[in-house]
């Protein structure tokens, strides 16, 4: 049996397929033409978009390919090799609800995402934010996440600074989950996504020390036609006085850079669109909004 997982989602879990015997034979013959594309599963670039495929072998396929030294699971990707995982502590003990230590906090300024699209909200927001300060975690040390916790925490876990170690989705905690799971045609509106976040306890204004996150919705398009959606989150941190939004693309490592390799000073201007093979593009183009954890929280429970 061969199972393939397309590692391209950030919020939602990746899709998987079980190959038929004929498909498996065809795939193996193709794979054997060039084995240099094989990578360790944990060699995942910090990348929002297509991170390749994870192949898992079992039964006779595992036995036969195992004779060749091919591991039971491996990654196939065309992205540059990333072996930074070799430096991580992959045996560190973890527990649900762990949170990354806070670093600093400071007074909040006007969120640029809302300022650019919120029109008349700006004045009201500025007043509300006068009493706001933000809690930050490190902008460049992601060792808390990029190790044992990496594969089982998604972008929502990182945004909330709450390691569920079981993935997590907006609305699940608050009883307003999004009904997308077996319906490829479903697309949530920004209002419905906001509804799920508010149910989980997130706030649209800040009046105390809080995490500040930005939610975006994305669409995967095949030759221009949308066929599946996803969501993603960014969380604001600081490098000195300079904004550094950080994010965790799916099962990949946390990063402070966008799809073009630039530090993220504003989500609205960050590169959030990446090409995928076969005419597919993932584009997290829709900014849902800026949200805050409840006052006084440096970690927001989402499960």
Partner 1 sequence: MNPSKTSRRTLIFGAATTAVAVPAAALITPETVLAAAAETPAGKSRRGPAHDWLDDFVMKNRHRVNRPGQGQP
Question: Site residues (CB under 8 A) for partner 1?
Answer: 4, 6, 12-13, 15-19, 23, 26-40, 43, 52-53, 64, 67-71, 74, 76-81, 83, 86, 166-169, 172, 177, 181-182, 184, 222, 227-228, 276-280
CB of 171 to partner 1, least distance (A): 9
Q: Tell me how far, at minimum, the Cβ of 279 lies from partner 1, in Å.
A: 8
Beta carbon nearer to partner 1, 2 or 287: 2
Tokens 């070799």 correspond to what residue? 86
> What are φ and ψ of residue 236, in 5° steps?
-80, 130
Strand intervals (E) in 173-278:
209-210, 212-222, 225-239, 242-246, 273-276
Report the alpha-carbon distance of residue 253 to residue 113 in Å, rounded: 24
Query: By C-beta, is 279 or 296 nearer to partner 1?
Result: 279
Least gap, CB of 65 to partner 1 (angstroms) = 8
Rounded to a whole number of angstroms, the distance between the first and last alpha carbons of the chain is: 34
- The 3-class SS string of 47-74 reads CCCCCCEEEEECHHHHHHHHCCCCCCEE
**Residue 50, CB-side half-sphere exposure with 13 Å CA sphere:** 19
Please give the Cα distance from 36 to 45 (Å, whole number): 17
Residue 263: exposed, middle, or buried by beta-carbon count in 10 A (0-12, 13-18, 19+)?
A: middle
Copy the structure tokens of residue 271: 């590169």
Q: Which is nearer to partner 1, 172 or 247 (CB)?
A: 172
Q: Which is nearer to partner 1, 6 or 192 (CB)?
A: 6
Sign of torsion, CA 291 293 295 299? Answer: negative
Give least dist CB 112 to partner 1, A.
Answer: 32
Closest to partner 1 by CB, 68 or 191 = 68
**Smallest separation (angstroms) from partner 1 to the CB of 67:** 6
Q: Which is nearer to partner 1, 246 or 302 (CB)?
A: 302
Q: Which residues contact 274 (CB under 8 A, 6 or more apart)?
A: 47, 48, 49, 50, 259, 281, 282, 283
In the complex, what is the shortest distance from the CB of residue 167 to partner 1, in angstroms, rounded to a whole number?
Answer: 6
Sequence-ordered alpha helix ranges (H) in the chain: 21-31, 59-66, 112-117, 121-129, 155-160, 190-199
Closest CA to 24 of 70, 65, 69: 65
- Least separation in angstroms between residue 92's CB and partner 1 is 20
Q: Which residue lies nearer to partner 1 by CB, 15 or 109?
A: 15
Our CB check for partner 1 shows the closer of 246 and 280 to be 280
Task: State the minimum distance, in angstroms, from the CB of residue 269 to partner 1.
Answer: 24
Give the C-alpha separation, 200 to 184, whole Å.
Answer: 24
Min separation Cβ 175 and partner 1, Å: 8
- Is the Cβ of residue 79 or residue 128 nearer to partner 1 in the bound state? 79
């Amino acid at each position: 049996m061969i199972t393939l997982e397309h590692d391209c989602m950030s919020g939602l879990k990746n899709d998987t397929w079980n190959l038929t015997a004929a498909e498996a034979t065809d795939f193996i013959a193709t794979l054997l033409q060039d084995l240099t594309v094989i990578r360790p599963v944990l060699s995942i670039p910090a990348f929002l978009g297509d991170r390749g495929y994870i192949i898992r072998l079992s039964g006779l396929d595992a036995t036969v390919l195992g004779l060749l030294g091919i591991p039971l699971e491996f990654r196939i990707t065309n992205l540059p090799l990333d072996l930074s995982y070799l430096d991580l502590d992959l045996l560190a003990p973890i527990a649900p609800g762990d949170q990354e230590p806070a670093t600093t906090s400071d007074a909040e300024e006007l969120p640029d995402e809302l300022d650019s699209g919120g029109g008349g909200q700006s004045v009201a927001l500025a007043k509300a934010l006068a009493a706001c300060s933000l809690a930050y975690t490190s902008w460049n040390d992601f060792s808390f996440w990029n190790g044992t916790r990496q594969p089982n925490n998604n972008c929502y876990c990182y945004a909330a600074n709450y390691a569920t170690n079981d993935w997590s989705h907006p609305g699940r905690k608050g009883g307003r989950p999004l009904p997308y799971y077996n319906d490829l045609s479903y697309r949530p509106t920004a209002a419905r996504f906001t509804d799920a976040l508010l149910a989980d306890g997130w706030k649209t204004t800040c009046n105390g020390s809080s995490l500040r996150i930005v939610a975006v919705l994305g669409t995967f398009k095949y030759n221009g036609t949308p066929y599946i959606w996803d969501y993603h989150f960014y969380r604001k941190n600081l490098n000195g006085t300079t904004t550094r939004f950080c994010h965790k693309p799916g099962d990949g490592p946390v990063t402070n850079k966008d799809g073009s390799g630039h530090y993220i000073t504003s989500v609205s201007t960050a590169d959030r669109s990446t090409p995928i093979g076969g005419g597919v593009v993932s584009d997290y183009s829709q900014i849902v909004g800026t949200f805050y954890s409840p006052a006084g929280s440096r970690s927001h429970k989402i499960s």
